[in-house]
């Protein structure tokens, strides 16, 4: 199993998929392709985990939906504001590239681990702490909008957290990397 240390997420229009190019500890890269259908399932689980994290942290303050949306929106904005531009993970051309057929999600109080699985036994793992997860979801949300995929899966607090400066200068058109 490859442990992805850093990833670059891109929407590739010709494939109508999200491509994750991940740096592996051994100095190599791996390319994973994610379909919209699979991402919908994964994103729903990740958003639920984030909402549960906030409920555990401040249960009395989150008695109604408006308060939950407000807290989630502030947390999302804070995570997006702290994103730093990094050089993209460059595909080396000789790496393994495969379509992710399933994702197992492991959760702890501090992080989620995504175990990506391919049809031919390929395995890769990505561990994201809460802030990293929020930042990656912001990136995926930008790519989602650029792909013009249906926005219904995204909660209101996620859409409202998109404000000036959240794109860090990146465009979300086809073949554009957002890290």
Q: Which of 82, 88, 77 is nearest to 164 (CA)?
A: 77
pLDDT digits (tens, 9 = 90+) for 154-177: 988 787 655 444 443 333 333 444
CB 108 within 8 A of CB 119: no
pLDDT, position 147: 96
pTM for the predicted model, two decimal places = 0.78
CA 22 vs CA 19, 106, 174: distances in Å: 9, 19, 19
User: Coil, strand, or helix at residue 171?
Assistant: coil
pLDDT, position 65: 59
pLDDT digits (tens, 9 = 90+) for 115-155: 999 999 999 999 999 889 989 999 999 999 999 999 999 98
Tally of CA atoms within 13 A in the half-sphere of 148 that contains its CB: 3
CB 139 within 8 A of CB 179: yes
**SS3 annotation, 101-168:** EEEEEEECCCEEEEEEEECCCCEEEEEEEHHHHHHHHHHHHHHHHHHCCCHHHCCHHHHHCCCCCCCC
pLDDT digits (tens, 9 = 90+) for 68-124: 666 666 565 655 666 677 777 887 776 779 999 999 999 998 899 999 999 999 999
Which residues, at least 6 apart from 123, have a Cβ–Cβ distance to it below 8 Å? 1, 2, 115, 116, 117
Q: Which of 147, 141, 178, 179 is nearest to 162 (CA)?
A: 141
Domain ranges of the chain: 2-158
pLDDT, position 60: 59
Residues in the chain, how many?
A: 179
CB 95 within 8 A of CB 26: no
């Amino acid at each position: 199993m490859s442990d992805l240390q850093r990833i670059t997420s891109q929407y590739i229009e010709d494939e109508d998929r999200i491509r994750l190019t991940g740096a592996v500890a051994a100095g190599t890269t791996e390319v994973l392709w994610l379909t919209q259908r699979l991402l919908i399932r994964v994103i729903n689980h990740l958003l639920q985990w984030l909402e549960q994290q906030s409920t555990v942290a401040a249960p009395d303050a989150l008695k109604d939906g408006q308060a939950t949306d407000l807290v989630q929106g502030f947390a999302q904005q804070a995570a997006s504001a702290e994103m730093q531009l990094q050089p993209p993970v460059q595909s080396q051309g000789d790496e393994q590239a495969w379509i992710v057929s399933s994702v197992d999600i492991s959760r702890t109080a501090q992080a989620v681990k995504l175990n990506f699985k391919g049809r031919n036994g390929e395995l890769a793992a990505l561990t994201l702490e809460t802030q990293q997860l929020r930042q990656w979801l912001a990136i995926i949300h930008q790519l989602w909008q650029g792909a013009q995929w249906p926005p219904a899966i995204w909660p209101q607090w996620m859409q409202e957290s998109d404000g000036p400066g959240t794109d860090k200068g990146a465009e979300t058109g086809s073949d554009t990397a957002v890290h």
